[in-house]
Amino acid sequence: METRTVTTWSLEQTSPRDLLAVQHSDDLSGIRIVRAAVPSPEFSRFLYTSVGADVTWTDRLGWRYEQWRTLLERPGVETWVAYDRDTPAGFVELDAQDEGVVEIGYFGLLPAFRGRGIGALLLSEGTARAWDLADRLPDRRRTERVWLHTCSKDGPYALANYRRRGFRVFDTRTEEEPAVAAPGPWPGA
């Protein structure tokens, strides 16, 4: 079986002051970032497969509808979507964990929207929403840490974007894994 070497970096912020946010600019005037307030397995699966198709996101491809619904209805799981002139461009998924920790579980842009600064803006907004998550959850402890991981399969600018937004690497792992062809956003693609 063919394998490939994959490096995974885990990154964190431990204070809201760590966030080095970018602001809306004239170049991004058509971009809106909105919370998907109604849990929708269909929409979330669309975002996951469309963003992750060319970077080999496969762990949720086999999920049943009920698995998506269970995740999305859990308190502290939020999906924030970037729209470019009312067209979905990407998303960030927040997952509140114990002890004031929020994981950015997924983050990315559809291929057609990459390379224009939308990712920096979406990551800035998504990270800010992780820091103020307790404001939207009545019994939630204040966020004390926001973390995520990225790997060498992700886009070539992913790690640099996280670092520019103030995330620091706290763990690096390199492993061999089976080489899998990018599945595409649709079965059989």
CA–CA dist 187, 125 (Å, integer):
32
pLDDT value of position 189? 44
Q: Which residues pair with 8 in a beta bridge?
A: 151, 173
Write down the pTM of the prediction.
Answer: 0.92
Per-residue pLDDT reduced to its tens digit, 67-84: 999 999 999 999 999 999
pLDDT value of position 187? 57
| pLDDT tens, the chain, 189 aa long | 788 899 999 999 999 999 999 977 778 889 999 999 999 999 999 999 999 988 888 889 899 999 999 999 999 999 999 999 999 999 999 999 999 999 999 999 999 999 999 999 999 999 999 999 999 988 888 999 999 999 988 878 899 999 999 999 999 999 998 877 666 565 544
pLDDT value of position 153? 87
| Domains present along the chain, CATH in parentheses | 3-178 (3.40.630.30)
65-73 vs 41-52: helix axis angle to the nearest 10? 100
Cα dist from 3 to 26, 113, 179, 181, whole Å:
44, 30, 5, 11
pLDDT value of position 183? 61
Sequential DSSP letters for 89-125: EEEEEEEE-GGGEEEEEEEEE-GGGTTSSHHHHHHHH
Q: Six-digit token pair at 121?
A: 């803006």
The answer for residues whose C-beta is within 8 angstroms of residue 17's C-beta and 6 or more apart is none
